[in-house]
Homo-oligomer: A and B are copies of this chain.
Amino acid sequence: MSSKALDYENLNENVKKCQYAVRGELYLRASELQKEGKKIIFTNVGNPHALGQKPLTFPRQVIALCQAPFLLDDPNVGLIFPADAIARAKQFLGMTSGGLGAYSDSRGIPGVRKEVAEFIERRDGYPSDPELIFLTDGASKGVMQILNSIIRGPSDGILVPVPQYPLYSASIQLLGGSLVPYYLEETANWGLDINDLRQSVAKARYTGITVRAMVIINPGNPTGQCLSVANLKQIIQFCHQENLVLLGDEVYQQNIYQDERPFISARKVLLDMGLPLSKEVQLVSFHTVSKGYWGECGQRGGYFEMTNIPPKAVEEIYKVASISLSPNVPGQIFMGLMVNPPKPGDISYDQYARESKGILESLRRRAHMMTDGFNSCRNVVCNFTEGAMYSFPQIRLPPRAIETANKLGKAADVFYCLRLLEATGISTVPGSGFGQKEGVFHLRTTILPAEEDMPAIMESFKKFNDEFMEKYEDHKGYSRM
């Protein structure tokens, strides 16, 4: 029997090559253990509701009414829905032709794109054009679409931070391009060294790669740092000099857990820099309803905004978006709600503000609990999570642990994380899934387990880790490097 088109050996090589560790070996093993009845704490993916975070009430009321517009005529609707949710639902339905069951324009509902533009203007102090904002099924889909427009073949390179969120490595592999890594410096709180960036580009060029775009993730995933204005300026200067499109993954812009470095968008910094850069540097910025304090991952709502992309290219991006007709409409409504939430004086404002604040403050406390917890463990050091949703501790594995892993044919961090999973049910992602310097090991967890569970989780982690270290350390006295 001859082999067939959908047999493994005949698949598109780019499909086979790409790796996505967030749902890789560790996740699959965790799912198996869960099926066998083991209690698993899924901290592998930033999925707040799966770990018990409750949805914000107001947006869910509005979307429920949009889904069931016949309720708007029900005389009892006021008994279970507040008047401002009813008004907002009517407003959204008025923006669509056909409600949530109709495809929208492939770029998204014009009225929602206008709300996004107004949000961006309030945030940055510069007007934004709704025609340059495309709504998407979550930010990932937007990133993939833009990379697809840029990447022409294996000699097109995309600068990606290491450690990075593996959406980038996976998408670049899938699209047949080349990932050009630049390293974030762990000892400088995961800061970006512009000289390292230059070296990365030079090295890539030497091997025949044309670097065409640069990805920044701010706040960082998995590294949690917030970029300073000075750093962002350097990056934009660099993109200008090197003629790179800047791709600003800013999906964690609402998740900030310190006050020294608030979130500042790449777009604001670019426009503040003035001419000629403000008119010349191409920038695409990404956002989502999945993160922030909303955490509405399952709804798949996102957008990208284009700056300095010429109309003819925007048209091509529109054309490609139109092949899959439209992003899901409920997700678009969520985006409209996120960028234009209840205001002081609205009936639902107090509840909305209380719920949002509750989640955000708890995330901030959890960021501290987790970092402190990791730093209390033997051979573990961890930068503070300034923003985003992750902790990325370095695990200093004893040589005997590394040897044992090698014998089992596993990367040392994978070995460690699998042992952690089996011992405690904590499902993390090994640092190798994000990239790390040779011989240095990490893991990524989210900071999302329920606050009340956090002490027990960190204790369980510490117990496992310290016993693991005890077991594998050279008893003649292995010390921190």
Contact = CB atoms under 8 A, between A and B. Distances in A.
A295 interface: yes
Given A12-B151, A174-B320, A299-B101, A140 B325 contact: yes
A322 interface: yes
A5 B98 contact: no
A324 B137 CA distance: 9
A140 B324 CA distance: 6
A243 B99 CA distance: 44
A6 B325 contact: no
Contact of A11 (B60, B105, B149, B328): B149
Nearest to A71: B80
A74 B60 CA distance: 15
A23 interface: yes
Nearest to A1: B280
A330 B57 CA distance: 17
A48 to B, nearest CB: 8
A331 interface: yes
A312 B144 CA distance: 25
A13 B98 contact: no
Q: Chain A contact residues (Cβ within 8 angstroms of B): what range? A: 35 or more
Contact of A325 (B4, B138, B280, B313): B138
Contacts of A330: 67, 298-299, 328, 330
Contacts of A57: 70
A67 B70 contact: no
A321 B191 CA distance: 32
B102 A47 contact: yes
16 contacts: A5-B245, A7-B310, A12-B148, A15-B149, A18-B319, A51-B98, A52-B98, A60-B69, A63-B67, A64-B71, A76-B80, A98-B298, A144-B324, A297-B325, A299-B328, A330-B330
